[in-house]
Amino acid sequence: MSFIKEIARRRTFGIISHPDAGKTTLTEKLLLFGGAIQEAGAVKSNKIKKGATSDFMEIERQRGISVATSVLAFEYNGIKINILDTPGHKDFAEDTFRTLTAVDSVIVVIDVAKGVEEQTEKLVEVCRMRNIPMIVFINKLDREGKDAFDLLDEIEQKLGLTITPLSFPIGMGYDFKGIYNIWERNINLFSGDSRKNIEETIKISDLGSSELNKLVGDKASETLREELELVHGVYPDFDKDEYLHGKLQPVFFGSALNNFGVRELLDCFVEIAPKPRPKQSEERLVKADEKDFTGFVFKIHANMDPNHRDRLAFVKIVSGQFKRNTPYLHVRHGKKLKFSSPNAFFAEKKEIVDVSYPGDIVGLHDTGNFKIGDTLTEGETINYKGIPNFSPEHFRYINNADPLKSKQLFKGIDQLMDEGVAQLFTLELNGRKVIGTVGALQYEVIQYRLEHEYGAKCTYENLNVHKACWVETQDERSEEYQEFLRVKQRYLAKDKQGQLVFLADSAFSLQMTQQKYPKIKFHFTSEFD
Ligand code: G4P
């Protein structure tokens, strides 16, 4: 197959949701359609169960699962689909943000009873800022839930989306009869009292026909007609171009657990979802069909086998073909590297591959060369943008608890930070090291991994920091900036890239500092224009 055809048949996306909305269940059903797995229950959820915070075996088990489910690839009707896993647990939100730099589109899963939840809001905001095309799937329709129109309003208001339903439920809760598919103009009816199975899919080209009344009864068909008229009047018509530019989000209703509406979602997805999109580097926009290979690291995973120190770096291929045993330029190091056993991912297994194409993810064995955000090319010096660090939520001093193992401790901290487990700040005043994380759980993960993988011991000490702010000035020699450096020295630190960071101890002190030094800019992420 030609290079261009290979690109055109790839769809790389992520499923995002608040925990428990049904992301794992939906992923599993999609894999079943692709024939990638044979039975339900094969995809393990990688969510950290509540109360598991001190159970290290649980954390290790989860890490194992999260390698297995990092990329789930399968074929459907000649289309190669790559699903990138995004952890739902909020302590790992930064992992999810980074994964979103590697997807070409997303599916947002919402629980019909719970509506828009906190984690969904945050993740959708990131996608909206990047104009990532999104499809919304409202799940658990077999249960009593919110009124469809109320829920659609909530989605528009809380998520700031412009939506258009492409399917619509017939009845609700106890009276739930099935789903009318606006996209395909047919009906899925659900059978029996349990409404557990799809009875049949019936083509309805004319909504006014009496056939509809025969199928779902007079009352339900009247209501459906009214509701669809309202849908037609209130929501814009679906426009693929608008969807592809992140300006319009189609909505599907269904029940992942019972496989209602999942095939319809998948069929529409393969038809409308974008093929590998161009990506902006600091130097230029790179298109997927360019001849030369380029790609970037969006995730690093330490190997689970303690006898092997190597790690797996996940590279998204942006352009060209990635070939095994070919030297590629590691732009940050300015040196060429060859990879003899790049892994490709298929459902739940990985295999060595000779060639991969734009949209694909390859897993490269790494002994410490890579960090998140690194770019690989055939020789051109370009740096992919878009993996900034966000201000952590928690901050603690890290202390060495075993003076004989300080080398191991520093190596361990260094490598764990490159993996993106947390962020390291070094105080300007005294060189003390501070670890910043999104969730408290990471401190336990770090302590455990330092001990088991590097033989080092650490303790933590609380530090009162409200936000880390990356500092920007136009003139380093100005009086204002020099005074800021002097007065705030106690609160200044360098991040791992050597950028200056102001660790504000409260919202109030941040506000006062901003007022006092109006020419200095304080950013909550490490990248700014
Ligand atoms: P997540 O990955 O988004 O966190 O959610 P997951 O798929 O694990 O689903 C969370 C719970 O919701 C699971 O139940 C799952 O069975 C249930 N669920 C998913 N889709 C549907 C649906 O369409 N209808 C109904 N009624 N339930 C659904 P659980 O009891 O937490 O787990 P399990 O013991 O069933 O695995």
Q: Does 22 show up as a binding residue in the annotation? A: yes
Top-ranked range on mean pLDDT: pick from 24-33, 239-248, 350-359: 239-248
CA distance 472 to 527: 10
CA distance 363 to 167: 37
Q: Does 291 show up as a binding residue in the annotation? A: no
- Which residue puts its alpha carbon closest to atom 17 of ligand 1? 22
Q: Determine which of 128-132, 329-333, 386-390, 455-459 has the lowest per-residue pLDDT on average.
A: 386-390
What is the reported pLDDT for 302? 76
Domains and CATH numbers, the chain: 3-173+235-272 (3.40.50.300), 279-377 (2.40.30.10), 394-523 (3.30.70.3280)
Spacing, Cα 74 to ligand 1 middle (Å):
22
What is the reported pLDDT for 328? 97
Task: Give the pLDDT band (50/70/90) at residue 367.
Answer: confident
CA distance 333 to 343: 23
Q: Does 87 show up as a binding residue in the annotation? A: yes
Measured from CB, residues less than 6 Å from any atom of ligand 1 are 17, 19-25, 45, 47, 88, 139-140, 142-143, 255-258
Ligand 1 atom at shortest distance from the alpha carbon of 254 = 23
The answer to whether residues 36 and 346 touch, using CB atoms and an 8 Å cutoff, is: yes
pLDDT above 90 for 1: no
CA distance 302 to 346: 20
Ligand 1 atom at shortest distance from the alpha carbon of 21 = 3
Assign 470 to helix, strand or coil.
strand
> Following DSSP, what letter does each residue of 86-111 receive, concatenated?
---SGGGHHHHHHHTTS-SEEEEEEE
Q: What angle do CA 111, 115, 120 make, to 5 degrees?
A: 85
Tell me: the pLDDT tens digits for 11-44? Answer: 999 999 998 899 988 998 898 887 766 665 556 5
- Tell which residue, 61, 91, 66, has the closest CA to residue 442: 91
CA distance 375 to 298: 10
Cα four-point dihedral sign 33, 34, 37, 43: negative
pLDDT above 70 for 194: no
> In a mutational test of the pocket of ligand 1, which residue from 48, 257, 262, 265 has the highest number of ligand atoms less than 8 Å from its CB?
257
pLDDT above 90 for 311: no
Q: Percent of the chain, pLDDT > 70?
A: 88
> In a mutational test of the pocket of ligand 1, which residue from 25, 65, 66, 123 has the highest number of ligand atoms less than 8 Å from its CB?
25
Find the helix packing angle between 262-272 and 23-33, rounded to 10°. 80
CA 263 to chain centre: 23
Spacing, Cα 121 to ligand 1 middle (Å):
20
The answer to whether residues 426 and 493 touch, using CB atoms and an 8 Å cutoff, is: yes
Spacing, Cα 28 to ligand 1 middle (Å):
11
- Which residue puts its alpha carbon closest to atom 9 of ligand 1? 22
What is the reported pLDDT for 31? 87
How much is the mean pLDDT over the chain?
A: 87
From the CA atom positions of the chain, what is the Rg in Å?
A: 25
What is the reported pLDDT for 348? 64
Structure-token match 């690989």, residue found = 376
Q: Does 367 show up as a binding residue in the annotation? A: no
What is the reported pLDDT for 519? 94
Q: Determine which of 93-102, 147-156, 271-280, 352-361 has the lowest per-residue pLDDT on average.
A: 93-102
pLDDT above 50 for 98: yes
CA distance 364 to 352: 10
The separation between the first and the last C-alpha atoms of the chain, rounded to the nearest angstrom, is 41
The answer to whether residues 84 and 14 touch, using CB atoms and an 8 Å cutoff, is: yes
- Which residue puts its alpha carbon closest to atom 30 of ligand 1? 20
Tokens of 51: 């109360």
Spacing, Cα 254 to ligand 1 middle (Å):
13
Of the two residues 117 and 34, the one the predictor is more confident about is: 117
Spacing, Cα 113 to ligand 1 middle (Å):
13
Ligand 1 atom at shortest distance from the alpha carbon of 88 = 4
Tokens of 44: 């393990």
**Segment 112-124 mean pLDDT:** 92
Tell me: the pLDDT tens digits for 68-84? Answer: 567 888 899 999 999 99
pTM: 0.85
Structure-token match 């033989």, residue found = 455
For residue 459, what are the contacts with CB-CB under 8 A and spacing of at least 6?
398, 399, 401
Q: Determine which of 62-76, 85-99, 268-282 has the lowest per-residue pLDDT on average.
A: 62-76
**Helix ranges, 419-506 (H):** 441-454, 479-487
**Helix ranges, 160-261 (H):** 210-216, 218-234, 240-244
Amino acid at 129: M
Q: What angle do CA 77, 316, 72 make, to 5 degrees?
A: 45
CA distance 307 to 411: 17
Task: Give the pLDDT band (50/70/90) at residue 459.
Answer: very high
> In a mutational test of the pocket of ligand 1, which residue from 20, 106, 119 has the highest number of ligand atoms less than 8 Å from its CB?
20
Provide the pairing of β-strand 423-427 with 433-437.
Answer: antiparallel
Q: Does 19 show up as a binding residue in the annotation? A: yes
The answer to whether residues 318 and 288 touch, using CB atoms and an 8 Å cutoff, is: yes
Structure-token match 């060429």, residue found = 336
Amino acid at 394: H
For residue 224, give the H/E element and its range. helix 218-234
**Helix ranges, 130-203 (H):** 148-159
Task: Quote the DSSP letter at residue 307.
Answer: T
Q: Does 171 show up as a binding residue in the annotation? A: no
**Segment 225-254 mean pLDDT:** 95
Task: Give the pLDDT band (50/70/90) at residue 51.
Answer: very low
Spacing, Cα 369 to ligand 1 middle (Å):
39
What is the reported pLDDT for 53? 40
CA dihedral 412, 413, 415, 416 (to 10 degrees): 110
Q: In this structure, how many other beta carbons lie within 10 angstroms of the beta carbon of residue 122?
A: 15
- Tell which residue, 364, 509, 500, has the closest CA to residue 428: 500
